[in-house]
Every structure is written in C-alpha cells, then in structure tokens.
Amino acid sequence: MSEPVSIAVVGSGYVGLVAAVCFAEIGHNVVCVDNDERKIDLLRNGGIPIHEDFLPELLARHRNGKLKFSTDLKAATHDAQAIFVAVGTPQSASGNADLSYVDAVASEIARSLNNYKVIVEKSTVPVYTNEWVRRTIERNGIQRSEFDVASNPEFLREGTAVIDFLHPDRIVVGADSPRAAELLRAVYYPLTSGEYYTLDTSFPGSKSKENPPPILLTSTKAAELIKHASNAFLAMKISFINAVANICEAADASVQEVALGMGLDKRIGSQFLRAGIGYGGSCFPKDVAAFRYVAEQLGVEFNLLKEVEEINAQQKIRFFQKVRSALWTFRGKRLAVLGLAFKGGTDDVRESPAFDIIKMLLHEGCTIRAYDPAATDRSKEMLPPSKSLEYVDDPYAAASDADALLILSDWSDFGQLDLDKLHYTLRYPIVIDGRNLYDPDEMASKGFTYLSVGRPSVHSTRDGVMQDSAQRKRIV
C-alpha cells in the first residue's frame, strides 16, 4: 500500500466513526476524537454505538492498531497531517445549519496547532463555511501559512456507509491550495489508484483495480455546494415520485409501473423513485432546509425546495388518512407498527416519518405495539413507553390481536413475513404498507385488506376480493 497519512477525525457519530474506521482500513494511522467519554470508552473496548453493516468487523480489525480513540483533541491532532471535522450540524430555528460545533472545534484546533495541517470539512456545511473556519483559526493567532481549510463532503447512506466509503461513486475534494489538494490526493490514493481492491482483505463492491473511483478536485465553495445540491436533488426525486403516487391512486394506476418506466430512462435512473411515507433521517430534512436558507441569503429564490418540503410533510398526513379510511374510527383501536428508524438498515430515528405518524395515532386514542430490528433503544429515548405505546421484540408480537398492521420502515425482513401466520395473529387481516413491500395480488390471495402508496387497494370480502378504484369497483 502507499505511504500512510496521519489523520485525526473529530466526531464519532455516523459520519466520523465510519470515516475513521475506513481510513484505517485503507492503510492510514487514525485517531478518532470525541468529548463523549462514555462513547470513547465503549469504542476502546470494542463496542459499537451505532448500527451499521461491516462496522464491527472493521473495528475489530483495526482497533488498537491503525485506529485509536481519544477524548483529548490536542493530543489527537498533534501528529496529524489532516484533521477531518465530522461534528453535528443540526438544523437551527431559522432553518440554517447550526455551525456552533464546527466553530468550537475550529477554535480548539487553532489552540493546538504545532505545524502545518489541512483542516477538512467532513460535516455537511453551507457554502462559505470554509471561510469562516479560516477566519476563526486566524483570529486565534495562527498564521495563514500554517494551515489550509478544505472540503471533502461525504456521500454515505446509513446502513451501507462502509461500502459507500470504500466503493464510492466519486470522491469530491474542495481545496484552494495545491498543498492541501496533494495531501488529500494521498489520503484517497489507495482507492483512486485501485491499490485497496487488490488486497485479499478488501471488502467487495462496485469498484476494482480496473475500475477505481474518480476523484474530482474543485474549489472549497463548489465542494460545499455539491453536497447540499446532491442531497436536495435526491430529496426532490423522493417528493416527486410521492406526488406521482398520489396521482396514480386517483387514476387507478400503479406507481411502481410508472416508476419502472421512468427509471429505465438513463437520464432519470431508478434510484430514489420509490413511493412511500416521505424522507427522513439526519440529512435530507436539514440539508434541504439549509440549502434553501443559503439561497435566500444570497438573494436567490428556490421555491422548488419549498414544494419538496411541503410534499414530504403532506405524505405523512396522507398515510395517516389512509389508516383512518381502513379503520373508520381510531379510539380504542390497537395497532401494530413495524419500523421506527427513518429507513431500514439503520438505528437512526432522527426525523423519522414513523414518529410523526405514531404521534398522530396516539393523539387519536390508539394503542400501539411497535417493533424495529435495531432502533428500539433510540426510539424509547424519543417516545418513552406508556400505557398507549409498547415496544416489543418480534413482529408477530406486535401484530398479536391488532386491528391493523402498519409498515413504516423498509427493512427487508418486513417484506418476508409469514403471511399465513400474520393473518392468524392479527385480529383483523388489515395491512397498511407505507413502503410498498408486498404485492397487492399476493396479499389479496392471502385474504388481507391491503393498502399501500400509489397503488390500488384491495379489500377482503366474503365473496372474494374487492379492488378500489377512483372510477370503478370490481370483484376479482
């Protein structure tokens, strides 16, 4: 492998921890630093604070070797050539990203600088953040020649973040000096040269020695904008197909067929054209809002993003109304909920659409049993158990004697339930699927009343199955 780079990663959240572990995986010497002593102790002892595929294996491979953990930022950055800042940038009350954590870290880094270093924005930040970080460091008495600020946005999907890091579609490096650009080229050289993929221990994926990921060198401002623009565009695709799904329901068409026809056009592509209950998580909601705020501050109207946000908010309300249409009344109804994380494959419940829907149902007098393969503990912190809300350890325990089953996250396990067992377990065979995990015809054949998003509903009847339509009703 190429010459290793000494790296400090500030922050051990979803982005920081994955970046630190993967930098070690491609051969660098890494210190991951965080001021949360309990989390650092957990990581030092081999514990994993987040649910992420392949993270336990990589941590076990590199812990106490190429990867170390610390709560001392000064010590962690002393020998580092590159310092990646991966702290939180939550949404502020104004809609902009709250950069107070970035500012605090920049000030602390400035007080510990002992030689030239490249300070790299890894967190998602608005354009011009690099200039503010630079000013903050200079205000602490550091000469401009002693550091550079660069931007290296992440494009990781929770649940597949490790593979996304090691097999990226592209690596974006925003640097305004050749010195900083060369150091970041060296950081990613094991990937861009294809060296990493020749190792027997490398994780398989879409990239290879013959097909390594490209590196795109830009200005720091362009790199900051690429991240926000990318996330806003993906959120727009989700809202667009959800709006199309609503038209499909009114026109008695299947949104899956429409999405397939659209996605086969290589100019559009099939990714993120899955109708559902809307996007959530730590990125899309705040990044869309922050990008719109930045545009407004620069005097640019970006009303399209307002519509993206509005469609996303309305999608949860439409699903709530879909549940009402299936049950008629709410008070006293017992509901099973499958899925609490904002999507399958993660334990992240931040901005999860499931929570908005659960809160609406609880407000209407329902009692809920909820299950998620990974997000139960985090969910209890957000919505503590009560007489009306119980967390269970099994999907069939959630469904036991329930008036209906709601699917709110797209865990693959939820699409592989034993339908005969589920039919027997439910009080009434009603499934309301917010992620379109099942085929309506299959559910009809199993005797379920089945409602989904952007597709005709089917209702079990004494004589067979009745399929809803805005224009007709027929017995199958």
The answer to whether residue 98 is domain-embedded is yes
257 lies in some domain: no
Domain count across the chain: 1
Segments in the chain below pLDDT 50: 462-463, 469-476
Main-chain phi, psi angles of 62, to 5 degrees: -115, -10
- The residues, ordered by sequence, that sit 6+ positions from 281 with a Cβ below 8 Å of its Cβ are 158, 342, 343, 348, 350, 351, 352
Look at residue 163 and tell me if it is in a domain: yes
Asked if the structure places residue 243 within a domain, the reply is no
State residue 426's pLDDT score.
97
What's the rounded Cα separation, in Å, for the pair 228 and 125?
8
Instruction: Quote the CA–CA distance of 80 and 117 in Å, as a whole number.
Output: 7
Q: In sequence order, what are the residues at sequence separation of 6 or more whose Cβ sits closer than 8 angstroms to the Cβ of residue 311?
A: 239, 240, 242, 243, 278
In a domain, 430, yes or no: no
Find out whether 465 and 475 touch, Cβ atoms under 8 Å: yes
Give SS3 for 28: coil
pLDDT digits (tens, 9 = 90+) for 314-337: 999 999 999 999 998 999 999 999
Is 148 a domain residue? Answer: yes
- Could you tell me which residues come within 8 angstroms of residue 370 by beta carbon, excluding any fewer than 6 positions away? 336, 337, 338, 340, 358, 376, 379, 389, 390, 391, 392, 398
| 394 in Cβ contact with 406 (< 8 Å) | no
Domain containing residue 172: CATH number: 3.40.50.720
Question: In the prediction, which pLDDT does 425 show?
Answer: 97
| Global pTM value | 0.90
Pairwise CA distance, residues 45 & 64, whole Å: 10
Q: What is the distance, to the nearest Å, from the Cα of residue 154 to the centroid of all Cα atoms in its chain? A: 12
- Report, in angstroms and rounded to the nearest whole number, the Rg of the chain calculated over CA atoms: 24
Rounded Cα–Cα distance for residues 447 and 302 (Å):
47
DSSP H helices, 328-434, are 353-363, 376-382, 395-399, 419-425
pLDDT for residue 476: 29
Please report the sign of the dihedral spanned by the C-alpha atoms of residue 54, residue 68, residue 208, residue 176: positive
Number of neighbouring beta carbons within 10 Å of residue 440: 21
Say which residues have a Cβ less than 8 Å from residue 24's Cβ, sequence separation at least 6.
Answer: 30, 58, 62, 65, 66, 67
Residue in this structure with the two tokens 């020649």, named with its chain if needed: 145
How many C-beta atoms surround the C-beta of residue 5 within 10 A? 22
CA distance 319 to 317: 5
Phi, psi of 357 (to 5 degrees): -70, -45
For residue 36, is it within any domain? yes
Q: Of the candidates 429, 427, 432, 250, which has an alpha carbon nearest to the alpha carbon of residue 357?
A: 432
Q: Is residue 19 classed as helix, strand or coil in its secondary structure?
A: helix
Nearest CA-CA partner of 161 in 327, 19, 265: 19
Hey, what are 415's tokens?
């699409």
Per-residue pLDDT of 252-297, as tens digits, reads 999 999 999 999 999 999 999 999 999 998 889 999 998 999 999 8
Rounded mean pLDDT of the chain?
A: 92
The whole-number pLDDT of residue 1 equals: 62
Domain of 132, in residue numbers:
6-218
Report the DSSP pairing between strands 82-85 and 117-121: parallel
Asked if residue 253 belongs to a domain, the reply is no
In angstroms, the CA 338 to CA 335 distance is 10
Token pair of 324 as six digits: 């009402």
Angle at 34 between CA 28 and CA 40, to 5 degrees: 85
Q: How far apart are CA 314 and CA 320, in angstroms?
A: 10
Catalytic residues: 283
Give the CB-side neighbour count of residue 132, counting CA atoms within 13 A. 14
